[in-house]
Amino acid sequence: MQFGWLTLSLSPSGDEDAARIDQQIEQVCYAEELGFSDVWLTEHYFTGESVYNDAVVFAAALAMRTERIRIGFAVVQMPFHHPIRLATQLALLDNLSKGRIDVGVGKGTVYNEYEFVGHGLRSDDSRERMDEAVDIMQRAWTEAPLKYDGKFHSIEIPELRPRPVQQPGPPLWRSVISPGSFEECGRLGIPILTARLGVEKIKDRWNTYEAGLRAGGHDEATHNRLMKQIALWRNVYVADSDAQAEDEICQLLLDTREHMMHVREAHNPDDFEIDPNMLNPWTDPAISDADALPYTLETGCLYGSPARVKEQVAELRDVGVQHLLCQTGFGDMNQEQNLASMRRFGEQVMPAFSD
């Protein structure tokens, strides 16, 4: 199996931001030392989540401090970025990292409308903005000169420099959850990230993606590579005992949910309503903590002693998961807790699944 590391960091106050950013760098360096193959950065703004906020700039710092670990984005919120500026930044980052960049792209948060408002936008046209921005970015990496007249951008450039190390550009990933999205990405040969899937649904989703790959006519090498790359995201917390791990992760998750609900209620504009189709028991404010917590523990978490977590990882492996993204920090977990959990996972769980 391949193990990635993902951060959705939360700084509880502005006074702690600088220290928390330094801690993030330390965590990534430790992830590389422990043998994680890839690190994934989330992107949020204004309320302490993703404390570095600008994932692309932060990734440049990581590229200078690491040597082997791949650096990915889960995901870049495309409407918040000018596509030529982003294409240039990612091409430079690919050069700085010697070709270690993976770029998850998305249309932006479906819950935090205040992030759109903060960028002078609303989310109504976010899908169109993303599609146009992705098209411009990919063409900028491969076409010279480039002239583009779109709905949101009118662009003419002689050439984008520097060119990315990876050709025709850094791999573009999508975050998916529905069966239709799995099939579509398979057909198009797009690598995928997914989360909040119970074990019982994983095999069906993987089969759906594989059916899409077959329908897309991809060669066997591409087929095998993309199946192995499917990345499943889980919260991971390893303590000395099962009881300790359960007590501590439950409190951390409840604190995280309280923050999440508070900032949305406080900052989302009055005319914004979350699409009910996008809600689940964890994200739905109408669901009590007592009902939300068991749902997220079952569908999104691996926790316990090293022996128990080993069993949970084996269960995922046995239904087809070959690439597990481990979010080891959630809420405002302190640095000592995070590094200790990472150490237990890296030293006592990961070696059991080495190729």
CATH of the domain at 235: 3.20.20.30
* CA neighbor of 43 nearest in space, from 89, 3, 96: 89
Domain count, the chain: 1
DSSP annotation of 48 reads: S
Rounded CA gap, 69 and 27, in Å?
12
Rounded CA gap, 339 and 297, in Å?
21
pLDDT in tens, the chain (355 residues): 999 999 998 999 999 999 999 999 999 999 999 999 999 999 999 999 999 999 999 999 999 999 999 999 999 999 999 999 999 999 999 999 999 999 999 999 999 999 999 999 999 999 999 999 999 999 999 999 999 999 999 999 999 999 999 999 999 999 999 999 999 999 999 999 999 899 999 999 999 999 999 999 999 999 999 999 999 999 999 999 999 999 999 999 999 999 999 999 999 999 999 999 999 999 999 999 999 999 999 999 999 999 999 999 999 999 999 999 999 998 889 999 999 999 999 999 999 998 6
Written as one letter, the residue type at 142 is: T
Biggest CA pair distance of the chain = 61
Whether 5 and 325 have beta carbons less than 8 Å apart is answered as yes
Domain containing 313 equals: 2-353
Beta bridge partners of 40: 6, 72
DSSP annotation of 125 reads: G
Rounded CA gap, 104 and 74, in Å?
5
Written as one letter, the residue type at 250 is: C
Beta bridge partners of 147: 156
Rounded CA gap, 285 and 277, in Å?
14
Write down the H helix ranges in 66-168: 83-96, 113-118, 126-142
Whether 74 and 233 have beta carbons less than 8 Å apart is answered as yes
Written as one letter, the residue type at 233 is: W
> Tokens 């063409």 correspond to what residue?
139
- Structure tokens that stand for 303 in this block: 């926790």
DSSP annotation of 10 reads: B
Give the H/E segment covering residue 324.
Answer: strand 323-327
pTM over 0.95: yes
Written as one letter, the residue type at 303 is: Y
